[in-house]
Structure 1
Amino acid sequence: MSISVKNIMRLSGGAILIASLGACASQQTAPMSNSPLTGPVNTGTYPHFTPDPKGETTQFTPEEKDALRSRTSVAKSGQAGPSSDPAVAARRQAELQLLKKQQEADLKEIEGKSSSTPQ
């Protein structure tokens, strides 16, 4: 049996090709195993991408804070409206009703005079 050199070369080339394809199919590598980067790590904390903000102005001292609180509470009490006291609200409502009646009377008087005058 004589096998030609040409057939031997074909068979050996085919064997090498089959062996190399078989090696590729059976190799299981971890994804990105050749990368220097590792995957995400669960650190148990929320990601923080920005630096902590710093105060742009000087901070209040405790004395300044107390003084500011007292000034604002005085200003707040000075702005209390009539709804804070029912008697004041009732008096204000009565004044508005009286003013309304006076204006209605004045308006009727003005309209009565203007309609009676000839044009």
Structure 2
Amino acid sequence: MNTPVKTILRLSVGAVLIAGLGACANTPPAPMSNSPLTGPVNTGTYPHFTPDPKGETTQFTPEEKEALRSRTTAAKNSQVGPSSDPAVAARRQAEMQLLKKQQAEDLKAIEGKL
């Protein structure tokens, strides 16, 4: 290589380094530095970002409320079964215990352990 090519390469490398260091020296401007407002402005009101919520349906009238309550009570009372009566529940539990004992005896007979 002759001297002018080496000099051009050195100068180009130097230019790239100077440009890279110059880019690091630049700091971004402060946010909102070009804004005419210097800070928060007290307008005396709160910001309002969303509209006021509205009811999606009409409200129950007292008569509708009582009708719904009576239908619910009637449906609840129609579902009353044997588990609601303690005597019936105790009888069913005794039947289940007897059935369990009979099945255990049948199992022993099947396995030949009786």
Do they superpose with TM above 0.5?
no
Band of TM-score, shorter chain? 0.3 to 0.5
**TM-score by structure 2 length?**
0.45
Structure with more relative contact order (C-alpha pairs < 8 Å, separation 6 or more): 1
